[in-house]
Amino acid sequence: MQIARLTLWEVPLTSHIAYHMAGGKTCDTVTSVVLRVDTDTGLSGWGEVCPIPHYLPAYAEGVRPALEYLAPAVIGADPVGPEAVMSRADAWLQGHRYAKSALDLALWDITGQVAGLPLYALLGGRQMADMALYHSITCIAPEDMARIAREAQAEGIAQFQVKLGADNDWQADVARLRLVREAVGEGPLVYGDWNCGATRLDATRVGMAVAGLDIMLEQPCATLEECAAVRAATGLPMKVDENAHDTASLLKAYGLGCMDAVALKLSKFGGLSPMRRARDLCLHLGAKMCVEDTWGSDVTTAALLHLAASTPERMLMNTCDLSGYVAPRLDPGAPARKNGRIAPPEGPGLGVAPEPERLGDPVAIID
């Protein structure tokens, strides 16, 4: 079996609610790049990557030229055993992990189909029937955020990510955390996320103001050193996100003492292959994990659900149904949240496939 062709589509995904984050970052309509890897046997695998503008050093328009450049290293290769192909890709083109992520997912999809197994079986075996979800709350007026939290809780959600910093008002951020905690009561996990947009001073002031409310902080500042200082000053547990992108950054965060939990995102690490290695390192270090990605629809969501399902339950903090936040759904039959939880697909490989009419015309065919 050989890789014969790469076909790419660019699909606009529109959030049901515009997401406002610190530093002027927004997530409204975002371009997702969908990849199909075809083999000479007729078997195909699907990948997807959806960078959020201004969020990380990645952009949708960079995926096509990166994959075109990688074509000589990929076309003609045996797709079964993704890490062998990705090793060739890394030697051919350094960096550009986000573009490689889509390719890695598609190779895993093909490998699972050849094996006749869902990917969770190849990533460590299924550890749980379904996984806890968190609900991300856009940074708007504190009262409206509390209302969104109550609505999500009524649907079974017990973990809430409270976006902070969009209005550069630390006292409003305190109100956001207090009102959401009051709305959901004691017990559910509530954490405030600045997406790197806070100063060390403002994050510390917020943290100290809510220190008695059972709150976790997420990536308040742009550097791990600043995050570690905020954690030390406030005594609140911390989740690392933007600064977690490879094994070296995980080890650094652990050494600084600011990685109580960590967000592992597929496109930041470069796909399921390096994410699996990161997951296993976090198991060793004892850091709870959120297994997710920057953004995306059903292909991305399926991939992260397989990795989440193969993670020991006590170490999985939560996962994310990215496809539930956007329209259109690329595969209407793909998994959806139920009572605040979600299960991985059951078919071989990823277990999902986009409907052709939802993709439109391809933007590139590389052979």
Active site residues: 163, 265
Q: b vs e for 206-227, b when ≥16 Cβ sit within 10 Å of the residue's Cβ?
A: bbebbeeeebbbbbbbbebebb
- Of 63, 163, 162, the C-alpha closest to 104 is 63
Residues 6+ apart with CB under 8 A from 8: 33, 34, 35, 36, 63, 64, 67, 362, 363, 364, 365, 366
Strand partners, 292: 265
- Of 14, 48, 8, the C-alpha closest to 32 is 48
Instruction: Dig out the tokens for 316 from the structure.
Output: 């999985």
Task: Name the helix (H) or strand (E) containing 69.
Answer: helix 63-74
